[in-house]
A and B are shown apart, each in its own frame.
Chain A
Amino acid sequence: MMRRYVIIGSGAAGVAAAETIRTLDASGLIWIVTADPDGYYSRPGLAYYLTGEAAREQLYPLPNHYWKELGLRWHVDEVERVDPEGHRLVMKGGKDLPYDRLLLATGAKALLPDTPGINLEGVLKLDTLEDADRLLKLARRGQHAVVVGGGITALELAEGLAARGMHVHYFLRGDRFWSGVLDETESRMVERRLQHDGIFLHYNTNLVEVLGRGGRVSGVRAKTGDDACEMACSVVAVAIGIRPRKELAEQAGLLVGRGIRVNQCLQTSHPDIFAAGDAAEVLDPRSGEYVLDSLWNPAIEMGSAAGRGMAGRMTPYQKLVPVNVTRLGGLVTTIIGQVAAKRDALLVDLDLPGIMRGDSEVFRQHPDAVVAQSLHDGSRLRLYLSGGRLVGALIMGEQALSRPVQRLVRSGEDLGELVPQLVAPGARLDEKLWEFVKN
């Protein structure tokens, strides 16, 4: 009999699973059920859609006929409930769908603070294409916008709104940007560039209330230290982190932690149900802890591994050292592995109580390591060395070393004589690394 595969979620993990299943099972029935009417698009690309660097239609990497060629069936609806014993799921629209193998690729959702007024029209987040469309509709040249939160998404919101001609006020609860991952020098480098682009930074500032008129945002009440203030604005953009969408798994009685708990083959505690992508919590072989990521490529890799398992070819997922390449205030920045500048990095970042998009909990691990850093030509290189190996790196600005360093961290290669050279006071890390990789 034909096997029935159902995938919940049309993101990177869900689509990668469908593609993989099709390569292994030419005749099986594959359903993608998704709550997102826009289907599959580049979510990291949303930031470039906001700045105008990418057109909306460009965010769809695959043409419509591709899905037909893959023989996929799409259904747009929200899944309300999964019944593991009955092997079926129930959708909000009332439809009932049976499955033999199920994938939960439900991603994560943006958190909103419980600040009074947070439900007013004009409070925005950046989670989906629909959110980005809404933001572009509300962004008005010459008007004021307030951004709260931390990390990459808050910057993307601030830069997108500024690119659309808004006067952007970025409220930071602490005294610097993204203190969980960047060190102080790096935070200041980014902040200076934001200010140069006309973004106003307000340090030690808490959003107290979003003020409204006729159901729409008209301003904010905030507190800087003990001083209260009010500011008029038409938009409040929020990025305080994300949470894995684990509700379906929880309600179905599957094992969950902070995300949906999976084994090495991405199987949940029920053998016919798999989970992958931002929703899943996987074992990090290096730290021995279950960790969350919100990264595009790991989501694809997890989706593929889960797809293989669903089609009967159980394959362990090899969790690589996480990498993200992003732009911070226009500075291209590569983050690899363990880079937290301080212990308890999550606690020190008041703007981000958990992880956010383009983030990994591994980035927040503070390695028991020696740090080496250098800064020149407006670029920054920070390396963490442990047991003769490179365990984390942050490269800001000039990116020529980014690929070789990524390879060194991922391979765990013994650096031998290079280590004392790197930690010598005043060492030019880039030169030493180039000599090493060229030999």
Chain B
Amino acid sequence: MSTPVSARPATAALKTQDRTIDAAPALEVEGLVKDFHSGGLFSRAAVRALGGVDLAIRKGEIVALVGESGSGKSTLARCIARLEKPTAGRILLNGTDVLKRDRFQASREYRSQLQMVFQDPFGSLNPVHRIEHFLTRSLTLHGKAGTPAQLRTRLDELMTTVGLTPDMLNSYPHELSGGQRQRVAIARALAVEPEVILADEPTSMLDVSVRIGILNLMRQLRDEQGISMLYITHDLASARYLADRIAVMFAGELVEEGESLDLLANPAHPYTRLLVSAVPDPARTGSYDPHERAALRAAVMESASCAFDGDPEQRCSATEPVRHRVGDPANEHWVRCHLYRPPATAASHALSAEPLESAERPDTPPTDESRTENKASS
């Protein structure tokens, strides 16, 4: 009962828009669907965590993935890392369909090409081993250990790279603070020297000054070694700082994507706008008013004309929105929202949205725009 990949015209439409690509994508995800079975053993009920995600990351590119808590960001990363089995869709690494190549589980080759940093630093390090064990294991498994002396040097280097002291190699995970554990998790991924790193909130427990150091390190790895990264974060400022492009996830789907500065300066999707407006701002201290914020949120989230919170009774249209370009094509900025439909097809839907600048009108051929698909029922 999964959505066939061929039924996703949006992918094809976007590809032709990607004119500025000179590097081929390192990682491509096409129509990725993930259903989780919920309820009891005999229940057929399923939760759709990913509703057909298309995403490409070029070689040496850093893409930030932001979005609602529970929208499927970790699930997407876990599917790509082959820790969850996707219900449908394709994952291409350097053009190779990895789900076909390694049908049942990730091969060692795949794991040395792609590494994941987990969201939860407390759960992701086995408590019975010392830090040294995790790094040594990664290095040996992927043939990077060398002689004992080289291994020692490499271990010390890795620790220093992430701002820890080599004497912590002897510590057990419970002896480290939250931020120190996060850095061990990053070091473990780096040890493998992969081509792609999927980092799930790798810096959420670091103070800003250490965080900047880690972000700079990630950028440096990209610049020097051409590593591609998917950087999952709730910190929009760091996404803007680090990432070339930002993709916004809402309820299991990507709803907007574009060059980082442009996307945050001109957020188009109602959810992105809400997100950007909610970034904490110390300058607001004096006038912080939870009631005003709640009202603002209600206006966006619960207005009768916009059901982007997924209410099936109040959908703004029976059809699923397709990708519409926003602004200058060079920014590769698109949004999936009917508000951005070309005028001809939008006429029948009276939406109480503020008028858009004409520059934000999509300029792809109408045949692509008017193609829609039915929401897969779950």
* A, B in one complex: no
A-side interface residues toward B, CB under 8 Å? Answer: none
B-side interface residues toward A, CB under 8 Å? Answer: none
